[in-house]
Amino acid sequence: MILPIVALGHPTLKKVAQDIDKDYPELNVLIENMFETMYNAEGVGLAAPQINKSIRLFVIDANPYEKYYPEAKDFKKVFINPQIISEEGEEWYFNEGCLSLPDVHEDVARKSKVLLRYMDENFQEKEEWFEGVLARVIQHEYDHLEGVVFTDRLSNVTKLFLRKRLNDIRGGNIRCDYKMTFGKR
Ligand code: NI
């Protein structure tokens, strides 16, 4: 089932999300619906707050990046209760976008490696380093669990430049190919 994606300005995007446990109701259905929603909107990652659930869960399918980033091939994963243990490496810029901010794309600086502790869809605990574009997508989705969107990381000048577009998104004055929920009415 395709779920509506919450837009910038919706209060759920500002919350710090909560851990879940194995008993979370119909988790498999939720995960399936999140992948379906993400593919429908042509995204590579989707965090639960973006479908209005303030829980620590995100899904990633980085395959669309495969052409330029070989590490992205067949990278399809579910991350439950993730925790960033460490971020290392040089900061690099990558042009990010977000399904909650349609048609906004800006270069964001982040470190190149991330050590993540998380559970997979079977609640198996893992601790792994991710690099390159995979680290990037994980850092972006992880931010959503902390109530942060990528535009929060831009310079004040860039934010000023984007102000009208961001206000249009907050107010629902945009056209978008997928279904969205707006915070302000
Ligand atoms: Ni996003």
What pLDDT is recorded for position 184?
Answer: 65
DSSP state of 66: T
pLDDT at residue 44 greater than cutoff 90 = yes
- Residues by chain with Cβ below 5 Å of ion ligand 1: 98
180 C-alpha vs ligand 1 centroid, how far in Å?
Answer: 13
24 C-alpha vs ligand 1 centroid, how far in Å?
Answer: 23
Predicted structure pTM score:
0.97
The one catalytic residue in 32, 125, 141, 146 is: 141
Q: What is the mean pLDDT of residues 150-160?
A: 97
**Percent of residues, the chain, with pLDDT higher than 70:** 99
142 C-alpha vs ligand 1 centroid, how far in Å?
Answer: 9
Query: Quick one: CA dihedral 102, 104, 106, 110, positive or negative?
Result: negative
Q: 98 CB contacts (<8 Å, ≥6 apart)?
A: 104, 140, 149, 150
What pLDDT is recorded for position 113?
Answer: 98
170 C-alpha vs ligand 1 centroid, how far in Å?
Answer: 15
pLDDT at residue 185 greater than cutoff 60 = no
145 C-alpha vs ligand 1 centroid, how far in Å?
Answer: 10
- The two structure tokens encoding residue 33: 């619906």
Residue 141 annotated in active site: yes
What pLDDT is recorded for position 169?
Answer: 97
Contact between residue 106 and residue 71 where contact means Cβ atoms under 8 Å apart: no
pLDDT digits (tens, 9 = 90+) for 61-113: 999 999 999 999 999 999 999 999 999 999 999 999 999 999 999 999 999 99
Give me the phi and psi of 120, to 5 degrees please. Answer: -85, -175
